[in-house]
């Protein structure tokens, strides 16, 4: 199954749960993505799909604070689970569900 689509993700951070919408799509034969949360939309970089179910990417955010995040998630059908890591901070849990109505 393709990972393309709209995903509602939750990141369990030390300052509380942060929600975002992840849009994954094909463009020019490559997988691309954009994350939207707390009044900002940011492109995903280094987006890689490995073994058809492991997805990794990086993104920089400025809200609620300026961070460079690295994600590593496993995709199982319409659900994903994994971690997000910001620099030297401990990894935090990430969960998500594909928006099948989108």
Question: Cα(70)–Cα(90) distance, rounded to whole angstroms?
Answer: 12
Here the tokens at position 4 are 């393309």
> For the chain (length 102 residues), average pLDDT per consecutive 10?
92 88 95 92 96 93 85 97 92 96 74
pTM, whole model, 2 decimals? 0.91
pLDDT of residue 28: 93
Q: Smallest Cα–Cα separation from 52: which of 3, 102, 101?
A: 3
Here the tokens at position 44 are 């995903």
Q: How big is the CA angle at 32 (ends 23 and 70), to the nearest 5 degrees? A: 80
Residue for token pair 């990794």:
56
pLDDT of residue 15: 79
pLDDT of residue 102: 61
pLDDT of residue 52: 82
pLDDT of residue 1: 59
């Amino acid at each position: 199954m393709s990972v393309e689509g709209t995903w509602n993700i939750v990141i369990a951070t030390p300052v509380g749960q942060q929600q975002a919408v992840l849009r994954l799509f094909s463009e020019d034969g490559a997988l691309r993505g954009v994350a939207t949360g707390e009044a900002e939309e940011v492109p995903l970089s280094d987006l890689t799909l490995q073994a058809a179910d492991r997805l990794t990417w990086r993104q920089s955010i400025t809200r609620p604070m300026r961070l460079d995040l690295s994600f590593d998630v496993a995709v199982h059908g319409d659900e994903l689970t994994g971690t997000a890591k910001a620099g030297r901070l401990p990894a935090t849990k990430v969960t998500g569900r594909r928006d099948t109505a989108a």
